Amino acid sequence: MTQTHAFAKPKVELHVHLDGSIKPETILYFGRKRGIALPADTAEELQNAIGMDRPLSLPSFLAKFDLYMPVIAGCREAIKRIAYEFVEMKAKEGVVYVEVRYSPHLLANSKVEPIPWNQAEGDLTPDEVVDLVNQGLQEGEKAFNVKARSILCCMRHQPNWSLEVLELCKKYHQQTVVAIDLAGDETIEGSSLFPGHKAAYEGAMKSGIHRTVHAGEVGSAEVVREVRSCCPWAPSSCLSPYFPHLLLPTSPQAVDILKTERLGHGYHTLEDEALYHRLRQENMHFEVCPWSSYLTGAWKPETEHPVIRFKNDQANYSLNSDDSLIFKSTLDTDYQMTKRDMGFTEEEFKRLNINAAKSSFLPEDEKRKLLNQLYSAYELLLPEATTGMLHSGPWVVTLPWLLFGFLRDF
């Protein structure tokens, strides 16, 4: 019997990794074609070998990629295909807009130091990787009627790659690239502060490239402080030259370094109530991945999940699948989990998806069209405010807005 979806309406997904969302059948195909050994001979066995059934540490989770990434990296046909099939998977999950992220360097085998996954040197550069992913996503968009954009990842353990990631973001901006990310092992102490990452994010801000960062997943609130944004539309001290009447005191511990606009995960922000309050005032968007947070140990089941606090506070957040291959899941897994175990309602699912659309990195005109699509599908009146500025600024969708068409300020 086919399982009923927890939320059978159009969805927006902002935090999902391309290299963690590959079909096992595709991995098997290229393993055989390229003569690269895999830990299993059938798709089901491979899924079980790669997938997680119980919580592991974040570093142990990241080690899962070693099992299959050598099959995909360095292969033009494979890279374009996984991007195309990714859009197909999202269409089946009811996603109408997705921002998928990946590291160009981890898929390359030329002009990258060190060459990842113990590959021999080849001729596939990070630049060509981005072009191939763009081709696959764009062909998938046409075939499956899903709008797909991409985010290029810097890797915490390789700050020497980050400036090239910035240049690729600039070169391929809006083809499909919309933003830069910092991913990888958050337990590497001080990695947000590495000069390569700082320089890339400073350059991104100057160049108008949107920014998100994995922070506060397994790391403490201090990691979030390192990357938190001084949101350009928020009533904070960064606006004091223009709006002195909105000046708020700056926490002496708060350090704007990477100036992120969204937080990947961000759960441990709740360890610091002052920081959390400040981020809510700035309308920071939390890219929440509930099932992932359980399997990576980011959330301990004996405690209340941070997303419940986000829901109760009517904060700005989304639900996301993160790495469906490794977590043996779909986006519906996260919706089922929050509906079954945390009391989420259809109204809350609508609210969080509208907030996801507002916090997306689309240009304003495309964001407006996406919001129109959601409001129509949700049978809600479109607030007049969305016909103007759609920057993910000081406004956040709350339940009164959804039900009655009003906006609520923090």
Query: Could you tell me where the DSSP H helices lie in 176-245?
Result: 195-207, 221-227
| Residue 57 CB coordination number (10 Å) | 14
Contacts of 384 (CB under 8 A, 6+ apart): none
Cα–Cα distance, 359 to 353 (Å, whole number): 10
- Bridge partners of 155? 183
Contacts of 337 (CB under 8 A, 6+ apart): 290, 291
Residue 384 parent element (H or E)? none
Burial (0-12, 13-18, 19+ Cβ within 10 Å), 251: middle
| Residue 347 CB coordination number (10 Å) | 12
Would you state the torsion angle of the CA atoms of residues 384, 387, 392, 394, taken in this order, to the nearest 10 degrees?
-40
CA nearest neighbour of 298 among 212, 194, 215: 215
Catalytic residue list = 217
CA nearest neighbour of 309 among 350, 280, 351: 280
Torsion over CA: 50, 153, 337, 299 (sign) = positive
Cα–Cα distance, 288 to 291 (Å, whole number): 9
Check if the beta carbon of residue 205 is closer than 8 Å to that of residue 197: no
